[in-house]
Chains A and B, each alone.
Chain A
Amino acid sequence: MLTLLFDGIAYGMLLFILAVGLSVTMGLMNFINLAHGAFAMLGGYLTVVLMQRYGVPFLLCLPIAFAGAGLLGAVLERTLYRPMYKKPHLDQVLFSIGLAFMSVAATDYFMGSQQQIMQLPDGLRGRTELWTGGPFELGMGHYRLFIIAVCAALTVGLQYILAKTRFGSRLRASVDDARVAAGLGINVNLVFAATFAVGSGLAGLGGALGAEVLGLDPTFPLKFMVYFLIVVAVGGTSSITGPLLAALLLGVADVAGKYYVPKLGAFIVYSLMLVILLWRPQGLFVRKGGKS
């Protein structure tokens, strides 16, 4: 019971780290980016390759995955994404799904289509059991505990940056109304480029962390695109607490659904999303007053 909740929370935290960049960039430029999963996949593959071929320790791989994905994000933002902001949503969908297709085929070409296996360091393997035999039995995989700790630290850090720093207030101003923010002298383009890079980097980090839990093969961007979009659509794009709660809800619902009614599979998650979006089309946690 509690074990399920624990696994669900770990899964949800991971989804949050993967999707938070998408949520912020979508709120900032109203840009529908279906290729976000490609950055996560890049992070995952960077980690796997570095660990297997060059023997880089796992903990060192995580910042490299972050930096690599972030760098690629910054380059792509500057060259390809920027002309897309003013185009209609149909163009954005076509463009980003084209990018996702390309990333899938290119990864298949360079890395092969098989599932990649991740060797965890010894310290992160194993499991702690609490209250065994009782009604509140709790089994915690150490790696999942690690994921939760990293993601929680990142969440607190992000919330701090967003709420307390000067960059955070610029970002929030730009999300609320980009034109007025630009009129007040905020360099919205720069804010956006930085946010896009950090968001892509976080996706890369999430991909590296999640390679063991979610599985890593070339279809990753398309397979998890739906989950990222659910987090963003349900959580709303105006804060980071919204996507966090949405991701936790999604993680717990998915794990519990697959455990209790395995026959229905992902059915529960999709139905839940549909019902929530019918009930609150702008997402569950929307702040009034912002520009939608």
Chain B
Amino acid sequence: MKAVQDSLLAPSRFKVWEPLLWLLAFAAPWVFPGHALIVNEIAIVALFALSLDLILGYAGVVSLGHAAFFGFGAYTAALFAKLVMPDPLAGLLVGMAGATVLGAVCSLTILRGSDLTRLMVTLGMALILLELANKLDWLTGGSDGLQGVVMGPVLGRFEFDLMGQTSAWYSLSVLLGLFVLARRWVHSPLGATLKALRDNPLRAMAIGINVQLRLAVVYTVAAGVAGAAGALLAQTSGFASLDVFALDRSADVMLMLVIGGVGWLYGGVLGAVVFKLLHDVISGITPQYWTFWIGLFLVVLVLVGRDRLRKPWSWFGKPKAHGESA
């Protein structure tokens, strides 16, 4: 009995390397102060990828419009800082709350229909918000972006500096906090039911799981996490522009998640690191045409099979039958 319990709980326990990884991450802005800004960016997109992983990797919803919540969180946090109070933590909570409410409303739209319908509905939502942010220029600044956002110090003590060290530690702390919560959550019984309905919704329904409710819950939570990522971006850059809603952002985050591995919380983090470094290197060589190489990478990745990226031992030898269920 004990052995069974242990083997079931093993995946949810913290591994030895996990605290080390986080220590390294937190040490990075201190060791390389010149790269603190990119650490900050990586932490933000990692959080965004984490939120997409919750719905794509754990619940199997293909979304092309996850930037809707990212952007909504960004604009909410920026407006809150500009109009109400400049405290970052309060702004973060408000951004998250706004995106969560939006996610709860939007979750009604993804419950029915096929993958194509969901794709269109999520994409449509992001486009509608993009249009709104563009047209409501008295509130959002339109295509010039929302400027003049001045943030107060974090916790009343740590000012945001030009080097971005405070930003990096702030974003990393939020990432760590939400990561631990998400980790706890996907290993709970609720998380197990999510995986069940991803693998086979019909059977999940037959054993008494309320599929629609679960989908709505996970979509709402993921929206809140994406909103937190957006709020972090707006706060640390002091700026919110229309590109937070853009299709590129939704596509990029999906690519990150796929590089790192879907259905595995570290996938988003790992993918964000690889993607950002890759972006830095390629756009250093060809700034204008870097989307070509990203596109080529995607095509080749899918053609050879994306599970094989993380299993180098399967590169040589015969490809096995594709085991994933559609």
Q: Is A60 an interface residue (CB 8 A)?
A: no
Contact of B120 among A95, A97, A233 (CB under 8 A): A233
Chain A residues whose CB sits within 8 angstroms of the CB of B117 once the complex forms: 233, 277, 281-282
Q: Is B159 an interface residue (CB 8 A)?
A: no
Contact digits for A257-288, partner B, Cβ 8 Å, 1 yes 0 no: 00000011111001101100110011000000
Cα–Cα distance between A89 and B117 once the two chains are bound (Å) = 12
Minimal beta-carbon separation of B65 from chain A (angstroms):
10
Is B303 a contact partner of A83 (Cβ separation < 8 A)?
yes
Q: Is A232 an interface residue (CB 8 A)?
A: yes
Is A281 a contact partner of B292 (Cβ separation < 8 A)?
no
Is B115 a contact partner of A274 (Cβ separation < 8 A)?
no
Chain A residues whose CB sits within 8 angstroms of the CB of B121 once the complex forms: 274, 277-278
Minimal beta-carbon separation of A253 from chain B (angstroms):
14
Number of interface residues of A (CB under 8 A): 46
Number of interface residues of B (CB under 8 A): 48
Q: Which of B69-77, B95-103, B123-131, B231-239 contacts A (4 or more CB under 8 A)?
A: B123-131
Cα–Cα distance between A68 and B134 once the two chains are bound (Å) = 38
Is B299 a contact partner of A229 (Cβ separation < 8 A)?
no
Q: Is B296 an interface residue (CB 8 A)?
A: yes
Is A282 a contact partner of B298 (Cβ separation < 8 A)?
no
Is B128 a contact partner of A267 (Cβ separation < 8 A)?
yes
- Check A94/B109 contact, CB under 8 A, given A89-B62, A102-B296, A230-B120: no
Is B301 a contact partner of A94 (Cβ separation < 8 A)?
yes
Cα–Cα distance between A266 and B134 once the two chains are bound (Å) = 11
Contact digits for A84-103, partner B, Cβ 8 Å, 1 yes 0 no: 10111111011101111111
Is A97 a contact partner of B251 (Cβ separation < 8 A)?
yes
Minimal beta-carbon separation of B288 from chain A (angstroms):
7
Cα–Cα distance between A229 and B324 once the two chains are bound (Å) = 26
Q: Is B297 an interface residue (CB 8 A)?
A: yes
Interface residues of A (CB under 8 A from B): 26, 32, 80, 83-84, 86-91, 93-95, 97-106, 108-109, 222, 226, 229-230, 232-233, 263-267, 270-271, 273-274, 277-278, 281-282, 292
Can you sample 5 A-B contacts with CB below 8 Å? A80-B299, A89-B62, A94-B302, A95-B302, A109-B289
